[in-house]
Amino acid sequence: MKEPIFPNDEREDPWIVVQVSADEHWNAYHDIRRAVLFEARGLIGYDANHPDDRRDGHFPLLLLLENTPVGAARLDLTGDETAWVRTVAISEECQGKGYGRMLMTGLEKFASQHGVERLLVNAARDAVGFYGALGWTVVEAGGENPVLTKELRTGPEW
């Protein structure tokens, strides 16, 4: 089965965002998330078989740069033109090079093509600036992970 892809329209960099379905991409998706979101933060208990990754309406996505996986995220549709962005991670050696922006551009395009008009994310405190630079707005600042939102353009032309 061929994975859906969401190419970079500008073609400045050879990158694409794919919906994870192939075994090799599942492995890369989990490797990136485990390393960045757990091991780098001194956390244990990462579950590569968590049922949310394969739940209907949940879309694991992988950023490929020249066919090399460098980033991962998941988009969870809620059925009301809103979706949650989950577990955004860029490989440590690739951080600070604009790949997070590429991943989010592909994720937003994917979301828009699925009728999503509003995205939400529970951001790590150290990622709030990243999201703010991409046009996200804080809607709930309290708690360990602030909630941010972003309105999207919709439709197939995006």
pLDDT in tens, 37-52: 999 999 999 999 999 9
Q: Give the whole-angstrom CA distance, residue 119 versus residue 28.
A: 25
User: Would residue 103 count as lying in a domain?
Assistant: yes
User: H-helix or E-strand containing 10?
Assistant: none
Provide the residue type at 123 as one letter: A
User: Would residue 133 count as lying in a domain?
Assistant: yes
User: Would residue 156 count as lying in a domain?
Assistant: no
Predicted confidence (pLDDT) per residue in 10-30, tens digit: 555 588 999 999 999 999 999
Instruction: Answer positive or negative: Cα dihedral of 36, 37, 42, 44.
Output: negative
User: H-helix or E-strand containing 130?
Assistant: helix 128-133
Nearest to 61 by CA among 102, 98, 95: 102
User: Would residue 142 count as lying in a domain?
Assistant: yes
Domain that holds residue 70: 5-151
CATH of the domain at 94: 3.40.630.30
User: Would residue 157 count as lying in a domain?
Assistant: no
Q: Count how many domains the chain has.
A: 1
Give the angle subtended at the CA of 139 by the CAs of 32 and 30, to the nearest 5°.
10
Look at residue 59 and tell me whether its pLDDT is greater than 70.
Answer: yes
User: Would residue 128 count as lying in a domain?
Assistant: yes
User: Would residue 158 count as lying in a domain?
Assistant: no
Predicted confidence (pLDDT) per residue in 77-134, tens digit: 998 899 999 999 999 999 999 999 999 999 999 999 999 999 999 999 999 999 999 9
